[in-house]
Homo-oligomer: A and B are copies of this chain.
Amino acid sequence: MSSAEKQASEDLHQQMQLLGHAARDAADKLARVDARTKTSALMFAADAMRDSVSTILEANAADMERATKRKLSSALLDRLALDEGRVAAMVQGVESISGLPDPVGSVVDEWVRPNGLRIQRVRVPLGVIGIIYESRPNVTSDAGALCLKSGNAVILRGGSEATRSNAAIHSCLVQGLSAAGLPETAVQRVPTQDREAVGILLRDMSEFVDVIVPRGGKSLISRVQKDARVPVMGHLEGICHTYVHASANLEMARDVVVNAKMRRTGICGATETLLVDRAVSDSHLVPLISDLLEAGCEVRGDEITKKVDARVKHAEDADWGMEYLEAIIAVRVVEGLDEAMAHIRRYGSGHTEAILAEDNAAADRFLNELDSAILLHNASTQYADGGEFGMGAEIGIATGRIHARGPVGAEQLTSYKYVVRGSGQTRPR
What residues on B are CB-neighbors of A210 within 8 Å? 401-402
A347 in contact (CB, < 8 A): no
Cβ of A66 < 8 Å from any Cβ of B?
no
A258–chain B nearest beta-carbon distance, Å = 8
Q: Which of A405-419 contact B (CB under 8 A)?
A: 405-406, 415-419
In the complex, are the beta carbons of A401 and B127 less than 8 A apart?
yes
A417 close to B371 (CB less than 8 A): yes
1/0 per position for A228-242, CB-CB distance to B under 8 A?
010111000000000
Q: How far is the CB of A225 from chain B (nearest CB, A)?
A: 7
Q: Which residues of B contact A119 (CB under 8 A)?
A: 389-390
Interface contact B231-A400, CB-CB below 8 Å: yes
Q: Is the CB of A383 within 8 A of B425?
A: yes
Residues of A249-302 contacting chain B, CB below 8 A = 249, 252, 255-256, 259-260, 263-264
Nearest-Cβ distance from residue A51 to partner chain B, whole angstroms: 26
Q: How far is it, in angstroms, between the C-alpha of A290 and the C-alpha of B241 when the chains are bound?
A: 70
A111's nearest neighbour on chain B, judged by CB, is B390
Q: Chain B residues near A226 (CB, 8 Å)?
A: 229
State which residues 373-418 of A face B: CB under 8 Å: 373-380, 382-383, 385, 388-390, 400-403, 405-406, 415-418
Q: A124, A405, A417 — which one has the most chain B CB atoms within 10 A of its CB?
A: A417
Give bound CA distance, A420 to B260, whole Å: 15
CB-based contact A418/B388 at 8 Å: no
A418/B375 in contact, CB under 8 A: yes
Interface size class of A (residues with CB under 8 A): 35 or more
With an 8 A cutoff between CB atoms, is A117 at the interface?
Answer: yes
Whether B425 lies near A379 (C-beta < 8 A) is yes
For A105, the closest partner residue in chain B by CB is: B368
Q: In the assembly, what is the distance between CA of A427 and CA of B376, in Å?
A: 13
Q: Does A421 have its Cβ within 8 Å of any Cβ on chain B?
A: yes
Contacts of A416 in B (CB 8 A): 405-406
Q: Does A113 contact B (CB under 8 A)?
A: yes
What 9 A-B pairs are tightest by C-beta distance, nearest first?
A: A379-B422, A259-B426, A252-B424, A382-B427, A231-B402, A401-B415, A403-B403, A379-B425, A376-B420
Between-chain CB contacts (< 8 Å), 29 pairs: A113-B390, A117-B379, A126-B402, A127-B401, A226-B229, A231-B231, A233-B402, A249-B424, A252-B424, A255-B424, A260-B426, A263-B426, A263-B427, A373-B417, A374-B417, A374-B420, A376-B420, A376-B421, A378-B422, A378-B425, A379-B423, A379-B425, A380-B425, A383-B422, A389-B418, A402-B402, A402-B415, A405-B415, A405-B417
